[in-house]
Amino acid sequence: MKRGTFLFFVVVEILLTAGIASSNLETYISSPDLDYEPGETIEIKAFIENPTSQTRDLTIETDIEFPNREHSGKPIPEPVTLEPGRYRIITHSLRVEPTYPSGEYIFRLKIVEGENIIKTESYSVEVKNTLSTFKQTSFQFCLTADCSAPLPASVGRLPLTAEPITLQAIGWESPVLSGTVTAPDQQTTPLVFSGQNAEIIFSEDGPYRIEITASKEKYQEYIKVIDLEIYRGDVKIEYLRACSADGICKDGENPGNCPQDCVPAEGLESEFIETAKQWLFGQTILQRMISLLASIWKP
């Protein structure tokens, strides 16, 4: 046999073997049920059979993908050697927790031989009646019951005032809110909400801890902790109350107590300078035009 003919038959043999390896591996996926609820365990079995006449050294990876990819487990690789005519059953289990999202869960099977992925399969089950999560967790402090004058609490400090301060939950999915306020002397009082607002009276300066619990049917309970420093200072609360935040700088509002409506002094100064520059520039052009016209019409 010529060398070229021999090499041709070797290449054909390799290609045929590879074709058999990639196409003749039998798989079957099943589970006892297609619908699952919290407390139940998803159990998926993958049946893999080697009907070929060759021993197969495989790596089998299984994973379960959560709805919208909110949670994804790490693929679990398992080395498997299948003799001719033999099979292996791979079991993947997942206990459904109440906090898991509802929706379609996809079991993914990947079979690797050497460096090649020779087969992939997927299998879907449905998870129902788990708990949703609150998407918004924002709060703000205000001087008025309707929160028309929010306080800048981003630094975690508020001035002491004898009047109640309103705590408002923003943008929530209508939860039932409750909570507690712990004063500097470690005395705890309940925080009572009316809708999404609660009034708090800070009786002394010092560190306070506010704990808020949001609950709702079919939602996970959410707990928010706010550490707040109440201080005695020169800030006059009535000035803050004067700001209506409507875009108009009215009587009683100024850059100090209402920057939302009134341009700060440095802004006014720069605006005046810019206006003056424009005016002077205009005057210069006007004078040049007068001079030019005078020279043209000079008798």
Neighbouring CB atoms inside 10 A of 251's CB total 6
- Both structure tokens of 82: 């299948």
Per-residue model confidence as pLDDT tens digits over 113-147: 999 999 999 999 999 988 887 776 688 888 888 88
Domains of the chain plus CATH, in order, are 23-127 (2.60.40.10), 138-260 (2.60.40.10)
Which amino acid would we find at residue 229? E
Cβ-based burial of 106 (10 A; exposed 0-12, middle 13-18, buried ≥19)? middle
Per-residue model confidence as pLDDT tens digits over 207-247: 999 999 998 888 888 889 999 999 886 544 443 445 566 66
Which amino acid would we find at residue 143? L
Q: Residue 97 and residue 47: Cα distance in Å, rounded?
A: 27
Q: Which of 256, 257, 255, 253 is nearest to 240 (CA)?
A: 257
Reduced to 3 states (helix: H, G, I; strand: E, B; else coil), residue 159 is: strand
Contact of 50 with 27, CB cutoff 8 Å: no
